[in-house]
Amino acid sequence: MSAWLAFLLPWEFSPLLVALVLGAALAYVRGLQRLPPEETVSVLRRVGFWLGLALIYFVMHTRYDFLSQHMFYIHRVQHLVLHHMAPFLLALSRPQSVIARGLPVRLHDRVLAPAWRHPLVQGAYRLLQNWFVAPVLFVGLIFLWLDPEVHFYAMLSGPLYQLMNWSMLIDGLLFWFLMLDPRSRAEGALIGLGPRIGLLLAAAVPQIMLGAHIALAPEDLFGVYAVCGRAWAISPLEDQQLGGLVTWIPAAMMHVVGTLIVIGYWMRADARKARLTARHDAS
């Protein structure tokens, strides 16, 4: 037990990460307490929020971060969590309205809300969430940080390493909140449900190709781990093959699951539209 607790201690203390995680947690708890009786948040949504938040903290702020700097496949699991799993869970939990209710009124009304409504912020957000830009950025960041030369410098530079991890997390949140928005285009979503299905499947293809390339490569592509020293005594090719499989299979499966969820949203949107049409015809 003591060894496990020691493992959970920060590897490199990050005031920013602690402030964001604790702030989100406290705002979520307060928001749940302030919900009106007619609004409910299901148990699954609550579990998704807490699990997503915990996963972010675990892979970025515990001894796991040390392992990710000394094993390629552990690093790939870290990025799978930051870019896929944790944002996916947070997007499914739809915590925006709950967190907004839990924020201090002055902070929300005088700072965050006006900043969010600012034309420059809205313009930048809509650009990043464009149907073309969002998937290209999502896949492009994976290819960027897995370029062997870029990866070499990122793993040896503290600031570049942090930039790599934070960029993967932020982009993952942007992408999955866009893709898993339960609303249709008519209900206010930035991208329609049908196009999102195509984008999810299209974005999976280059990730599969990259993961297969890494897993099946006959030579060591990421020599930086020989410089850093591996945490466990496995061969460079075994480490690389495991990392390639992580990039290849779990990430692709999450796109499939995301596609099925969006199809479910689409079916429910069609059912709502049919009910509204029937009511209109009846009146």
Average pLDDT for the chain: 94
Higher-pLDDT residue of 47 and 39 is 47
Q: How does residue 139 score in pLDDT terms, banded at 50, 70 and 90?
A: very high
Give the span between the Cα atoms of 266 and 272, in whole angstroms.
Answer: 10
Q: Residue 217, Cα to own-chain centre: how many angstroms?
A: 27
SS3 category, 21? helix
Q: Cα(236)–Cα(52) distance, rounded to whole angstroms?
A: 31
What is the tens place of the pLDDT at every residue in 81-112? 999 999 999 999 999 999 999 999 999 999 99
Banded pLDDT at 1 (limits 50, 70, 90): low
Alpha helices in 35-157 (DSSP H): 43-61, 64-68, 72-80, 86-93, 96-102, 105-106, 113-117, 119-128, 133-145, 148-156
pTM summary value = 0.94
What mean pLDDT do residues 253-267 have?
Answer: 96
| Entry field: residues in the chain | 283
Q: For residues 220 and 243, is the Cβ–Cβ distance under 8 A? A: no
Is residue 244 scored above 70 in pLDDT?
yes
Is the pLDDT score of 189 beyond 70? yes
Write the DSSP symbol of residue 109: I
pLDDT above 80: residue 278 = no
Residue range 214-238, pLDDT digits in tens: 999 999 999 999 998 899 889 999 9
Q: How confident is the model at residue 281 (pLDDT cuts 50, 70, 90)?
A: low
